[in-house]
Amino acid sequence: MSAIEKLTKASHLINMDDIIREGHPTLRLNAQEVALPLSDQDIILGEKMLQFLKHSQDPVMAEKMKLRGGVGLAAPQLDISRRIIAALVPNPEDEEGNPPKEAYALQEIMFNPRIVSHSVQEAAIEGGEGCLSVDREVQGYVVRHARITVEYTDKTGEKQRIKLKGFNAIVIQHEIDHINGIMFYDRIDPEHPLAVKDGMLIIE
């Protein structure tokens, strides 16, 4: 059975064993565009990827399945070199610890996503970034665009164009990098990993 057949089987839940790690050549490929109209297989794969992120953020499922928590996943991380990404960014609880009104700041599966414009201003997450394909901590600011406009096809086949900022914008740039063969640490200044460039927004 091929990787894609296994991953899209109704009974299969994506788990950490399905995720390839740094050093695997697929993570360095420029992934293939998915054909439109979307195939059932591509749609199912996208849904399975989003389901994985949900499981990874659910304390009971994450413990049971031994998942690392994640907010984004790209098909190349499953050794499928296709331009499909999923993002699931939870909203924080309020100050009293009540759940947010909207559970997610971003919940989306994107096919052939493309950054069509971006701010001049750059941004980085204060604590750096992590990746399900990288089993070590890498220190340093991952320099990205503060704001982006992304075009993609959604799972119903509709063309979408959305503007993102803050953490959502960082997550989508991280995932789009994966379909272009780029790892997050490629964007850390090797000489000055913690240097704050002029005007760079630091996201807490």
Binding site, annotated residues: 131, 174, 178
Placement of tokens 């600011």 in the chain: 141
Is residue 20 involved in binding Zn ion (CB under 5 A)?
no
* Measured torsion, CA atoms of residues 128, 132, 135, 139, in degrees rounded to the nearest 10: -10
Indicate the residue among 44 and 182 with the shorter CB distance to Zn ion.
182
Angle, CA of 199, 201 and 204, to the nearest 5°: 155
CB-wise, 50 or 131, nearer to Zn ion?
Answer: 131
131 makes contact with Zn ion (CB under 5 A): yes
Termini Cα distance of the chain? 43
Specify the stretch interacting with Zn ion by CB under 5 A; choose among 25-33, 41-49, 84-92, 127-135: 127-135
Q: Is 175 one of the catalytic residues?
A: yes
Helices (H), 58-118: 59-65
Question: What is the spatial distance between Cα 97 and Cα 173, in angstroms, rounded to a whole number?
Answer: 30
Contact region with Zn ion (CB under 5 A), list: 91-99, 105-113, 130-138, 147-155: 130-138
86 binds Zn ion (CB under 5 A): no
Where is the binding site for Fe cation, in residues? 131, 174, 178
Nearer to Zn ion, 142 or 146 (CB): 142
Among candidate residues 108, 122, 129, 175, the one labeled active-site is 175
Q: Does 85 bind Zn ion (CB under 5 A)?
A: no
Paired with 106 in beta bridges are 89
